[in-house]
Structure formats: C-alpha cells, structure tokens
Chain A
Amino acid sequence: MNQYVNKKFSNQYKATIGADFLTKEVMVDDRLVTMQIWDTAGQERFQSLGVAFYRGADCCVLVYDVNNAKSFETLDSWRDEFLIQASPRDPENFPFVVLGNKIDLEESKRMVSQKRAMTWCQSKGNIPYFETSAKEAINVEQAFQTIAKNALAQETEMEIYNDFPDPIQLGSADNKTDFGNCAC
C-alpha cells in the first residue's frame, strides 16, 4: 500500500492495529477518482471483533505471502468473513483481487505455486490474480489499476440498484477499497 501510494518501501513500519488507510487519486477511464485504501489487522483474532472495517467497501484485496502456505490457506476464511461483514448486495459478483506478495524472495522459499493460487481464484468466480513484490515494486501499479477499475465498476452498479433516495453518500470521488491480510 505504501509502495503504491508513496512509492516507498520500508521494513520499518508498525503492525496495523485495527485499521489504517491511505488515499490516492487515480485516473480510471478518464475519470479522476480518489481511492481510499484500507489496511486491516492481519491477525486472525481481529476478525472476531466484528468492527465493521469492511462496510461500504467497493473492492476487496486479499494479500497472501507466496512463501507462507498458511497465509494462502486462510484466504477462504478472510473472503467469507468479508462477505458476511460487508454484506454486499450481490456477494456472488463482488469484486475481489488476490495478490501473491513477496515474490522477490528466492524461488526455493516459495510455498504456494502460481498454479495453485490461480486455481483457487478461478474456483471463486475468476478473481483477478497478481503476483507482486511490494519491495521491488513489481506489478503493484498494475494490480491497483485493476482494483480501482473493478471498484469503480462495482460502484456504478450500486448506483443502478440504488433507486431510492439514500442518505449514505456514494460520491464518485470516494471509493473505498479494502486491503487485507498481509505485509505489503
């Protein structure tokens, strides 16, 4: 997240307690939108807090460490919990993006193959999948472009559904994107 917004990577950052966010303005299809990227706590027990970190999100990014099989295996549970807590109108088609991070480490340390990750993504309704390195800034820009695009598409869809006057603002320059699970 920091790499994407501030073009910086640092080993010196604090564990996220609860949630934190950064904003960035991006051009998507000739539209300038502000993207709020939320980073939520990675430890599993924070899930039970039931604090609605995810509410109103337009896209959910699941990040795992390709060198850590367990971080991949818990994706399922994060995805489910997201859907339950965010309770989007159309859970089947809610946009997710999966990032396999830390590909900068040597190949021998890798625990989750690209194929395995792709298969999982396909089984969950063709979730876009990127292999990234936040440290080396590999694929980060591309991934976030997709995220922004999908989030925006989701939001437009929401507006169509939204046929009654709604007090909750869904302003076009205010996308909220969740960014979960892993160091990035």
Chain B
Amino acid sequence: MSTTVVSERPAGVFTVPRPVDISLNPFWDVVHQNEHFLLQKVKNSGTALKSLLGTIQNVLATKQPTYRILFRKEPHSVHLQIATAEVQSDIEVAWMWIIETLCEPLDGLDDPDEKEAFVVSKVNAIVSETEQEEDHGTMDDNLRAASRSFHQTFEVPASERLVNFYSCAYHSRVMYQGWLYVSENYLAFYSYILGIENRILLELKDIQDLQKAKSKKGVFADALRVITKDGQNYFFSNLFQRDETYDVLVQLTSVAMQRLLRTTGLDQLPGSSIHDADMETLADSAAMMQNSGNSPVADSKPQNVSLRQGLAEQEKDRKFYTQYNLANTEHVYQQMRAALILTPQDNEQQSFIGSIYISNTFLVFASSDLKDPCTVRLPMYAIRRVERLTSRSHVYAISIVTWHHMRLIFQLNAPASACEEFCSTLRDFLRGQVKQMKVLKGFLSHLYSEHFLANQTENEPAHGLGAQFGFPGNPRKTKDRSKMKLWHKYYEGVYSRLVFFIESNNAVSAEYGRNFTMIQGATFFKLIRVGLPNKLRGETWEVCAGALFLRFANAGVYERIQRETAGRVSVSTQEIEKDLNRSLPEYAAYQTDEGIDALRRVLVTYSWKNPELGYCQAMNILTSALLIYTTEEQAFWLLNVICDSLLPGYYATTMYGAMLDLAIYEELVKKTMPIVSKHFKEHDLQLSVACLPWFLSIFINSMPLIFAFRVLDCFFAEGPRILFQIALAVLKINGEEILAATDDGQLIAIFKSFFATLDHPLYPHSNNPKARSLTKFNELMLIAYREFSTISNDMILSMRKSHQLKIVASIESFTKRSAIRNLKETGDFTKEQLSAIYDRYCNALYYNRKQNDRSDTRMDFGVFIKFLGSIAPWAKLTPEEEHQELAIENGKSFIWRIFEYLDADHSEGISLQEVVSGLHRLLHSDLLERIQVFYDVFGGTNAEALGKSHIVELATAFLFLFRQESDHRKYTSSVLEFVRNAVEFSETPNEHGSSDLRDLDLRIDMTLQQQKEIIEQALEDVNIRLSLPIFRMVIMSNETIELYLGSGFASTFKFTEPIQDRQKSLGREILDTYYVAKSSPSSKRPRSVSATSGLSLTSQQSNSSAANDGKPEASDPTDAENDDKTEEYDEHLDISDNLDKLLIDL
C-alpha cells in the first residue's frame, strides 16, 4: 500500500465485472497470471478465427479492448472481466494494484463464491467511487465506459445516449447487486453475480408508475419501485443517489409521456386547415413567432455539456420559467443569493433575502421567505440604469432604476469575482434589449394603469367589452373606487432607496412600480384577494400571468395570424362556430354580433396558432369571460399562457391535463378529508363527474360571474394551486350534505345549490355589521387560503409529474381503442393482430420522431422501414447491413416499393388505415392475387408489362428477402431460374436466348450489390417484356418462388412477438456459450439471455420465433430454468450449424 504509483487506484480502467470465457484462448495471449487473476492481450496474428471474431464484433458494433484483466473463477471456465485498457501501461498499473491489495485477502478465503463476491464488491466499489468523484475528466471516462457496457449488454440503438448509471440492487427472490443504467429512452439493470446473470431492459415509455420506497426492511429510504404498463413490478434498492435517480427518471419519463401523447392521437390535427396545403405558410409564421420571442443572445447557450448536465439545466430552466410565468425560451444564465432593499415612503425600510437570476430577457428576484413574499420580474428593456454602488462595508451592491424611475438596490451575496461576472452578463443582455426599449414607450400608452396614473379622462385605452356593456356586479357594492385608490397608492405611493446612501440619493419618483416593473409583495397579494377593480383587472391578469411580456414580444402576431388564415376552415373553427352562442349567453355583449365576433376571432386565431390543440369546449366560456375585461389581443395571449403553462394539457385533444389534475385533486381529498373520501368510495361516487367543469372553466361555469372573477384574480396571481385549494374548501364546507349523498346526481345538486348561494350572508343574524356583510364566498376563500395553505404550486407541479404516467397509460388505451375502431377497413386481421399493428405503428413513430415535431401521425419512409422491420424479420437491417450502404440501398429500394404501394393517396406518408389496408392486400391473398400484388408493386398499378429493369429489381428483391434463409443455395438458384425464365418467356424475342445465363453463379459472400450487378450484366443484351399473365407463368414455373409467394412470404410477418426484441449478447458470450454447450452441455453456465439473436446475420430467421418469447426472464431466474434448458440447447445446435457454415466459407 505504501508504494508510490501503485496505491493510487487507476481510474477508468476497472469495469463492471462481467463474465467471459477463457476457452477463447486462441484470441488472447496471457501477459501475466497468478492464482487469482489473468492479464491478457489480444492476439495480433490474423487467423481465420480472429477474423471471425472481428466479424462478430463488427455485427454487434462492439470493439474489444486490447488488454483485459480477468478474475479466475475456478473450476469454471467462465471468468470475470474486471478491467480493460487499450495501452499496456494503464493495465499494468491496475495489475500491480490488484496484486497488492486483492491477492492477499483472497488467499485467506476458501469458498470460491466468497472470493467472487469479494472481488465483485471491490471492483464495483471502485467503479462507483470514481463515479462520485467530482472531477469531470474521470467522470466522463466512467460514463463513457458505462455507456460502452450499456450498449454491449443491451440491444438499444447505437444512437441511444446514456444519461447516468448507478450502483444498486435488484430484488426478485434474492437481491442482486448490480448496475442501473438510465438512458434517454430506457431504464436498464445488469448484474452478474455468483453465476447468475440478470438483465432488465425497460422502455421509459412503458413505465406506468415510479415510487420512492424504503428497502425491504423498511429502514433505508434508498429504494425505487418501477411498475410497467404490463403490470410488472421492479424493486431496486441500495441506491445511494436514490433521489437523483428518481428525479432524472421523472424528468425523462415526462419527456417520454409528452412524446407519447403526441404520437398516440392518430387523428388529423383538429386545428389544421381542411385543405392541407394551407398549412405550410402557417407553420412558417409559427416558427417566426418563436424567433421573435427569442433574444438575440439566445444562441450563446452553453454548448458541449454532457447529457446529464444538459438535462439538469433544462430542468432548472423549466422550474424558472414555470415559477415566474415567463416564456419557455428563457434560460437562466446567472443565479445567486441576494438581498433586495426597498425603503417605502411612510414605512420602515424593507429588505428581502432571496435569489436573483438573469435570463435572456429578465432580471428576476424572488424572496425565499414564503411568509414575506416579494417577486420582481424586470424585463431588461424596462431597466433604465444600472450602477455599482461604492460602499465602505465591502458589500457588492447594485442599484437599478426602472422605466418607471423606481430604484431597487440589490446586495449580491457572492465572491467579488462572481459578482463581476454577474454584472457583466447583465450588461451584455441590457445591450441586447435596447431596441425593445424604444418600442416600450408606445406600448405603454395603451395600458390602462398608465392612463389612470396620468389622471387623464380622455382617450381611455380599451379594456374589454365591459366598458361598453357594463361589468358584472355592482361597482358600489364591490367598492371599486376605493380599490382603485389603493392600487394608485401601490403604484405610486412609496419609493425605495438604499438606507446607507440617503444623502447621495435624490428622491427618485417612488413606487412599487406598475405593469412591466411591478413588485409583487405582501400588499399586492392582499389587494388581489379583495378583488381587482374592473378597469385594472385585465391588465393585472396580464401582468400576473406574464402574458403582458408575451404580447409585448409578439406585437402584431395576433393580427398577422388572422390575416394569414382568413377564410380557412378547420374542424376546430367549425366546432367554435357551434359554441359561440353557448358561451356566456347571459352577458349582454354575447347577445350582439360585436361580442360574438370578438369571441370568434380570439378562439379561431388561437386554434390556428396551436393546431395540435385546436379548440376544446370550455375555452369558449373562459375566453368569453376574459373578454369582458380585456381586449381581444390581451385575451389571446392570456389564453396562450393558460393553455401552455398554467393548465397544461387541459384542453389538448386527449385532455390529459384535466384528467391529471382531477386525479391529483382526488388524492388531495383523500389526504385532507379521509372521511369524505371514504364516503365517495363506499357509495361509488364519482367526484370527477361533478368537478370537471370547476377545473376546465376555472369555476366560471359553476359560480356566479362576480365570484368567478374573484377566483380568476387569485388564479392568475397565485397559480394553479388556488383551484385545488378552492375545490377542497367546497368539499370541506359542504361536508355534511356530501356525507348524506348517495349518487352522483345528488352530489352535483349539492354543489349547484352551494354555488348558487355564494352571495348569501354568512351570519345573517349577527349584530356585528361587519360580520353580517360577510358572504359564503368570503368563507369559501378564507377556508381555501387558511386550511389548505400547505398546497403549493411546487407540490402541484411535482404531483402532476408523478401522476402523469398513470394518466398517459389510460389515455393510450383509449386512443388505441378508438384508433382501431375508427378504421374504415380492417381486412382479415384479427383484433390481436390489429392491436399489434397499431402498437408497432406507434412505436415506430415514437422512436423516430424528433421531440418537438408537430404531430404528423403518418409514417414517412424512414419510420416505415423501422415499422416493417418490427413485423417482418427480413426488413430488419442488421447493424452490419446498415453500414454497407450500397448493399442496403437495394433492400431499401424494395421496401420503398412497398411503401409506395401502401401509400394509396400518394402523400409520401402512410396512415394507420393505409398500413392495415395495404398489409391486408399484401398478406391475405392467394397465390394468383399475390403475384399480381408483386406485379403492381414493381410495375405500378395497371402497368402493361414489366421490363428488364423491373426484373433486375425483382430478382434483387428476392435475393434480399432470401438473404436470411438457411438453404442459401436453393434460393439463389431459384432467383437465377426466375431471371432465366423471365428472358425465355419474354414477349419480345431474344436472339441469344438465355443460354448465357446458364453459368451464372451467385455466392453467399457476395454483397447484394455485387449479385445485382452480375444479373444486370448477364441481361445486358436481352430485352424483357412480361405482361401480367406471362409474369404469372414465370413465377408458377419456379417451384421455390411459387411456394414462397404462395405462403412463405405471408408467414414472414409476425404480429405476435413483443416489440422489444430480446437483448443481444456480446459476441464473445455467444462463443462462450457455444463452447460451453459443446464441451459440457449439462454444466451449469451463465444464462445468456439470448444467445441466438446475436448471430442474426445467419440464424435469426430460423429460430427467431422460438426464441423471442417474452421479456428477459431475469425476473424469475429459477422457475423457467428447466423448461428453457432444452430449448436453449436446441438453439445452440443451430448456432453451431451456422458457425460451421461460416467457418467453411471463411
């Protein structure tokens, strides 16, 4: 231990222990060895076997490192690989370390199993320790190594990126210590211990629930339970970074769920034009809109960060813009602790401790004290001046003067260098916003608050239909005037300055600011809770929701969309038209064209902006309510914020957001009012039936308008949590009646009558006049705020994340059901087959779509190849084939033909219906029909005849189809026969006849391209013309091809196997098992989950159906053992056959 270099454990060399077989000695030279360990170097000599190994490595896209260290596991021939390296010096260091630290303890152990356990735990500890070291260099190395073993162990696309890996234990009957891998699309586990191998690969999109748990004895909070959609339950413990693992998984699964929601809805976008061509311009304008929202510096986002860091950044940004209601293009560049100091005119100096952020366009400060809230969201373009304050007390303080001449003092709580950096970032971003600043003045003149403070009476800015048609409620009763005064005071009545610098600070116009520069402090929330005054209501909503910033950044967009979409019709616009008169008919404006037209314009424009969502009932009610207090453009941007971020998914085609929040609500009821919840359960009452409209219409549809607007005030200021708080308070207040209700109808009736009496006095007989003035609505809000104050927006957001997996699962099953039901033609497929086609269809779309793609539910050619590969093995291209571009072009051109054949409407995209109808024609036909199908596929429908190029293509296609058949010679000769017959039967006479074709030979080692060229060459001087009847003759005179078209072809399509193929093993493991099987068939050996598919080049076709049942058996390693053994053995025989062939050819 005391020696120099050696005792430093060489990082990055040790790997997760995995089994290898040393009977592969031919490939390896032993460099060092002792009783316990072997150090080997790969052989250089180019033997046949070497190239065989090379082939297999190539097929599997794995590269064996040059050096490796093995732990000898006597008496087995299977050893454990514990370290690998490319350079000898690296491996030697590891070897020395092993000799020094591991050998002596090993000598002391007798039981071989104990020895193994010792080594495995030691090596695992090293790998995991180095992973935890903060040094980025080694971490990346480790991650790279882990990524390599992840790709080697599991069959995942080469492009799949590993996010992180964690040491953990998997519980089935026994506990298996191993590694948990988290990648973009998968969760995987691998362990190899005491001769038992466990391999689990789960698709993130198949996860239905993720739960934090305590490990089995209930002591350590270090476990995670994963439940998949097929009901499997996986339990992992000993996760030292459990919370991190959980967070990463939650983040990744929610990305997966969002994608899933996009891919499962198979209908056309409801908001997209009925005439498809119209859409392109709109997509352009949508893209432009995105850009205009971006700041010019957005491109300077840090590049080249690791996936894990990237995800963490993404999550940080998401939290940031969700919390402060900013556009989702905002990225946090600077963040630090800071204090904000304000000195209001008539009050004590106020100071707030919290965090300050700089994002693309905003300077944000938020107090971290929940009891004393203070939030500042200053757009850069509303900042007039920034100064560094010189101070004797070594405090780094900056003074910011806003557009409205309000001075804010921030004391930055960080080392001076960080503060400097902070300021320089701020300076850069301020410069970028100079342009916007110029626009601001004109924009502000249309805001009511500016007009109000200027004490003007003329040219009142527009503030909604209410100005003309009257605002709901009696303004005297709601004390509108005194509220206006309070807001006036809030806007202007106070000023701020740093207390230490009073002398140098000539009073700047003082206030809490307004519109763009308003500080949201405790007083602000109080003012909101008493209800906003009519004329300031719309603007304050906008400010709270951040819609004001959006409207400013996207000036003119509302009109532009209207101009560009004028006169177009979509499903959504039709639906909107039907609902216009059913929105808020009791309000006077909506009995006139003026009101209805405004409502139509806002809804229709939104449906064009977001065609994926289009229009959902309840949006009409919401919008009609907004329009009483806002202009059309204001309502439009408010609607954007509501649909995109405040109530995400509420109005989507699947309405997943509404389902999600209802589920969360029910859970909260269960937690806070267990008796009521139990009553619902006992009497089978559906709370969601009654509550859906509360959430969907933000209570507008349920409460009298004056109260609904009070709720809306709070909703915009406090966020979605308020909906839950109020909904819970409704139950609380009506608890007794609810406990007497026994059916859904009664429940609804209770709520209806409660809402109808919200204006009734709470204490009608009280002597105290103040108490008498309290209404039931006051009680409701009091209870909502007091008793359910623990419900925070963060809590709702995290519950949305944890519940969404279940919701998405149920939506998936619904959309699947309706997609299949909506098929106009289902061919002769059984329900199971249709369901399998649907699954594969969605799966192919899911994995081949970029994250932010608009939801086009048709497959393009790239997706189609993947889809076809998942149902027909011959269409699945092995990694090796993918690399041989030329060869595979020929296969692809055949698949392209099929693609064109299925694409009935020539839209270069295939819908589910086209797949089903097309596959039906392809598969459910007799020989004669299928010959015609092939004729049509190659010649096009109604072709007069097939020519030479068609025949070459057909022959190549047959060779492509047959490339995996085991009896290669038979099939190639049948293809040659086909070519000869085509020449012979050709309707155009040939001088030479087909004699030249007799000696043609196609060898197995030729690529498809070479084979094609041979055929092409042979046919150089001949003409071919085959009409359909003659083509039939050509086929029917060819026994092999006739049989293949008659039945073989259709039977290559498999609908019953699971989508996820069993995972590939490593090349060396195939050989391991092969040798083990040969030398001692009965000896206990590591269970290689899928020994066969690794050799897919030659053997996949012959035994794929037998081997590909079910998931990896890792979940019950012992039960299936006996059943499987014989089957496994058979597979090995197959392999040996194929290997022999391979060897001969070599």
Whether, in the assembled complex, A19 has its beta carbon less than 8 Å from a beta carbon of chain B, the answer is yes
User: B692 contacts A51, CB within 8 Å?
Assistant: yes
A74-91 to B contact mask, C-beta < 8 Å, 1/0:
001100110010000000
- Can you add 14 more A-B contacts, CB < 8 Å, to A18-B689, A49-B659, A80-B821? A13-B582, A14-B701, A17-B618, A17-B696, A19-B692, A19-B748, A21-B748, A41-B617, A46-B655, A48-B655, A50-B810, A55-B686, A77-B818, A84-B817
The answer to whether A19 and B618 have CB atoms under 8 Å apart is: no
| A176 and B585 contact, Cβ closer than 8 Å, known pairs A17-B618, A49-B692 | no
Bound CA span A174–B746, Å: 11
Contacts of B443 in A (CB 8 A): none
| Pairs across A and B, CB under 8 Å, 10 listed | A14-B584, A17-B692, A19-B692, A46-B617, A46-B655, A48-B655, A52-B689, A76-B821, A169-B743, A176-B745
Q: Is the CB of A168 within 8 A of B585?
A: no
Judge if B220 is at the interface, Cβ distance under 8 Å. no
Residue B496 lies at the interface, judged by CB distance under 8 Å to chain A: no
Contact of B745 with A15 in the complex, beta carbons under 8 Å: no
Complex Cα distance, B818 from A142, in Å, reads 33
Point out the residues of chain A lying under 8 angstroms from B336, CB to CB: none
A96 within 8 A of B: no
Interchain residue pairs A-B with the least CB separation, the first 9: A18-B692, A12-B585, A17-B693, A15-B582, A43-B617, A48-B814, A17-B618, A51-B688, A18-B693
A19, B692: Cα distance in complex, Å: 9
Indicate whether A53 reaches chain B with its CB closer than 8 angstroms. yes
Judge whether B605 is part of the interface by a CB distance below 8 angstroms.
no
Interface: A23 (CB within 8 A): yes
Complex interface: chain B residues within 8 A of A43 (CB): 575, 616-617
Task: Assess whether B654 is interfacial by the CB under 8 Å rule.
Answer: yes
Contact assessment for B582 and A14 in the assembled complex, using a CB-CB cutoff below 8 Å: yes
Report the bound CA distance from A67 to B1031 in whole Å: 52
Pair A169/B742 contact, Cβ less than 8 Å = yes
A55 to B591, CA, bound (A): 37
Contacts of B585 in A (CB 8 A): 11-14
A45 close to chain B: CB less than 8 A: yes
Q: What secondary structure prevails in chain B residues at the interface with A?
A: helix
Taking Cβ atoms with an 8 Å cutoff, the residues of B that contact A are 575, 578-579, 581-586, 591, 616-618, 620-621, 652-655, 658-659, 662, 684, 686, 688-689, 692-693, 696-697, 701, 742-743, 745, 748, 810-811, 814-815, 817-818, 821-822
Q: Does A42 contact B (CB under 8 A)?
A: yes
CA distance A76 to B701 in the complex (A): 30
The answer on a CB contact under 8 Å between B620 and A53 is no
Distance (whole angstroms) from the CB of A46 to the closest CB of chain B: 7
Residues of B within 8 A of A48 (CB): 653-655, 811, 814-815, 818
B693 with A53: CB separation less than 8 A? no
Give every chain A residue within 8 A of B591 (Cβ-Cβ).
Answer: 12
A168 and B684: CB pair below 8 A?
Answer: yes
Interchain CB contact under 8 A, A49 and B686? no
- Across the interface, which residues of A come within 8 angstroms of B701, CB to CB? 14, 17
Q: A15-B579, A17-B697, A43-B575 are in contact. Are A23 and B655 (CB under 8 A)?
A: no
**Nearest CB in chain A: distance from B758 CB, A:** 18
Q: A17-59 interface mask toward B, CB cutoff 8 Å, 1 = contact, 0 = none? A: 1111101000000000000100001110111111111010000
Mask of A126-145 contacts with B, CB within 8 angstroms, 1/0? 00000000000000000000
List the A side residues contacting B578 at CB < 8 Å.
Answer: 183
B745 touches A21 (CB 8 A): yes
Contacts of A183 in B (CB 8 A): 578
Say which residue of A17, A51, A169 sits within 8 Å of B617 (CB atoms): A17
Known: A15-B582, A17-B693, A43-B616. A49 touches B655 (CB 8 A): yes
**How many residues of A sit at the interface, in one of the four size bands?**
35 or more
Q: How many angstroms from the CA of A14 to the CA of B625 in the assembled complex? A: 13
B583 and A45 contact, CB distance less than 8 A: no
CA distance A41 to B490 in the complex (A): 44
| B756 → chain A closest CB, angstroms | 14
- In angstroms, Cα B655 to Cα A47, docked, is 9
B654 touches A15 (CB 8 A): no
In the assembled complex, the CB of A115 is this many whole angstroms from the nearest CB of chain B, namely 22
Q: How far is the CA of A61 from the CA of B811 in the complex (A)?
A: 25
Q: Contact between B658 and A49 (Cβ–Cβ < 8 Å)?
A: yes
- Verify B617–A77 contact, CB threshold 8 A: no
The interface residues of chain B lying within 8 Å CB-to-CB of A80 are: 821
Whether A45 touches B745, Cβ cut-off 8 Å, given contacts A15-B620, A17-B617, A50-B659, is: no
Nearest-Cβ distance from residue B98 to partner chain A, whole angstroms: 59
Known: A11-B581, A45-B655. A23 touches B620 (CB 8 A): no
Give chain B nearest CB distance to A86 CB in angstroms: 13
The residue on B at minimum CB distance from A38 is B745
Q: Please, how many angstroms separate the alpha-carbon atoms of A45 and B814 in the complex?
A: 11
Most buried by B among A11, A14, A23, A168: A14
Contact A14 B659 (CB under 8 A): no
Residues from 133 to 184 in A contacting B, C-beta threshold 8 Å: 168-169, 174, 176, 183
* Docked-complex contact B581 and A51, CB < 8 angstroms: no
Closest-CB distance, B711 to chain A (whole angstroms): 16
Q: B119 → chain A, closest Cβ, in Å?
A: 53
Q: Are B621 and A17 in contact (CB under 8 A)?
A: yes
Q: How far is the CB of B396 from chain A (nearest CB, A)?
A: 54
A43 and B318 alpha carbons, distance in the complex (Å): 32
In the assembled complex, the CB of A128 is this many whole angstroms from the nearest CB of chain B, namely: 24
Known: A17-B692, A48-B814, A49-B655. A12 touches B581 (CB 8 A): yes
Q: How far is the CA of A76 from the CA of B692 in the complex (A)?
A: 25
Q: Which of B655, B745, B817 contacts A36 (CB 8 A)?
A: B745
Q: Which residues of B contact A16 (CB under 8 A)?
A: 617
Q: Is the CB of B686 within 8 A of A51?
A: yes
Interchain nearest-CB distance for B111 vs A (Å)? 56
Q: How far is the CA of A12 from the CA of B585 in the complex (A)?
A: 5
Residue of B586, B684, B689, B696 near A53 (CB, 8 A) is B689
Chain A residues with Cβ below 8 Å from B697 are: 17
Q: Please give, as numbers and ranges, the residues of chain A lying within 8 Å of B814 by CB-CB distance.
A: 47-48, 50
**Contact partners of A81 in chain B: CB under 8 A:** 818
Given A14-B583, A45-B616, A176-B745, verify A51-B689 contact (CB < 8 Å). Answer: yes
- CB-CB < 8 A to B743: which residues of A? 169, 174
A21-B748, A43-B575, A77-B821 are known contacts. Are A15 and B684 too (CB-CB below 8 A)? no
- Known contacts: A21-B745, A48-B815, A77-B821. The answer to whether A15 contacts B655 by CB under 8 A is no
Inter-chain contacts of A21 with B (CB < 8 A): 745, 748
